[in-house]
Amino acid sequence: MRSLLRTGAAWCLTLCLAFSAPAAAFADTEEKTEAGDREQEDISNGAAEKSSENQEAAEVKDADSKARDEESEAQTEDSKAQDEESEAQTEDNKAQDEESEAQTEDSEAQDEGREAQTEDSEAQDEKTPAWDEQEGIVRASNLHVRTMPSLEGKILGSLANGTRVAICRTLGTGWLQIVYGTGKAFVSSAYVVLLDSEAEGEIRIPEEDTYNKTWDGPVLNPIAGIVEGPSGLESYYNLDMSGIIATMREMGNNDEYWIRSDGVKMLGNYIMCAANLSLRPRGTLVESSLGTCIVCDTGGFASYNPTQLDIAVTW
């Protein structure tokens, strides 16, 4: 009986072991699976984190690269701006150089112009007719000077009473060809009295007739040292006239040198003055606020104010 019980117990134990082994194996397998899943999950999570870190690193790298590119572009723009500024400065320097060259050329041209004017003046002096044997004095209030020996000739100007003229030739039609300015013109012979070339000088007219009685503008005087007269700007000077008178004598002018009561220096019936000889050669008669002047000299003023008269006085 005992043997039978031991046999049954052994059999039961064997049966239990047979059934318990697969269950334990299954449980172990399930634990391994779960562990594998957890490990895979950890690996996946780690990979995701690493990927995220790599992406962040890449973004940081891209941002740094973009910042460097922007900085490089800014530097390029600064360099370009500096180049443009340098080019602009170069252009300014070039423009200043050109302006300086132009000023130098203008200065040289002005110097050449002054030299040419001086040469023209000297040439004009050489061409100015001397007071020859054929001389006359106007005896009319306003004698018209014309381009032709006819009343149809254009009027170039007029000559005041007492004006002395150099006669080029006498025409049989009642006209005289005279020296007028830098050229020649015509006046009626009926109003010109011929002068004797052997005479000491022309006949003096009364002093009161040497004043300008028709001028109603400002009159040159010691206080008003510069005025605008009938022929342009007027000024005065006081120098030794002996050299100037000698020059006029060489030209054939033998008129008396005298001082008018108001201190104006006279040569015959005319006030002595200096002028631009290219415009008004020696011997030219020109109206002033003080009376009719005869051009005897020139001065430095003539180069910048060609119509100015500088009147000889004792002031």
Domain identity same for 311 and 213: yes
Q: Taking the CA atoms of the chain, what radius of gyration do you get in angstroms?
A: 59
Reading the chain (315 residues) residue by residue, the pLDDT tens digits are 555 556 665 565 555 555 555 555 555 666 667 766 777 777 777 766 777 777 877 778 777 778 888 887 888 888 788 888 878 888 888 888 888 787 878 777 777 766 766 565 555 544 444 444 578 888 766 789 999 998 899 999 988 877 888 998 888 788 999 999 889 999 988 778 777 544 444 555 778 888 998 999 999 999 988 999 999 999 999 998 888 988 988 888 888 888 898 899 999 889 999 999 999 999 999 999 999 999 999 999 989 999 999 999 998
The residue among 125, 155, 187 that closes a domain is 125
Question: Are 227 and 296 part of one and the same domain?
Answer: yes
**Under 8 Å CB-to-CB from 137, ≥6 apart: which residues?**
162, 163, 164, 165, 192, 193, 195, 202, 203
Per the domain annotation, does 184 fall within a domain? yes
Q: How far apart are alpha carbons 191 and 138 in whole angstroms?
A: 6
- Burial code of 12-27, b = ≥16 C-beta within 10 A, e = fewer? eeeeeeeeeeeeeeee
215 and 288 belong to one structural domain: yes
Most distant CA pair in the chain: distance in Å? 206
Same domain, 214 and 311: yes
Residues 208 and 314 in one domain: yes
Return the residue matching tokens 């040292």: 225
What are 257's strand-pairing partners? 267
The CB density around residue 169, as the number of other CB atoms within 10 Å, is 10
Which pairs with CB-CB distance under 8 Å and at least 24 residues apart come from 203-210? 203/137, 204/256, 204/268, 204/269, 205/162, 205/269, 207/260, 207/261, 209/161, 209/162, 209/269, 210/162, 210/260, 210/266, 210/269, 210/270, 210/271, 210/291, 210/292
Whether residue 116 sits in one domain with residue 153: no
What's the structural domain count of the chain?
3
0.75 exceeded by the pTM? no
pLDDT of residue 290: 95
Contact 264, 258 (CB under 8 A): no
> 200: burial class by Cβ within 10 Å (0-12, 13-18, 19+)?
exposed
Note down the domain range covering 181: 128-199
Amino acid at site 274 = A
- State residue 156's pLDDT score: 92
Last residue of a domain, one of 93, 125, 157: 125
Quickly tell me which residue has 């990979």 as its tokens.
47
CATH of the domain at 133: 2.30.30.40
Q: What is the pLDDT of residue 161?
A: 75
If we measure between CA atoms, which residue out of 210, 230, 231, 234 comes closest to residue 221? 234
Positive or negative torsion for Cα 111, 114, 120, 126: negative
CA 43/CA 49 separation, integer angstroms: 10
User: Mind listing the pLDDT tens digit for each residue in 183-198?
Assistant: 999 998 877 877 754 4
**Whether residue 241 is found in the same domain as residue 192:** no
Question: CA-CA distances (angstroms) from residue 117 to 30, 42, 158, 232, 276?
Answer: 127, 110, 28, 20, 10
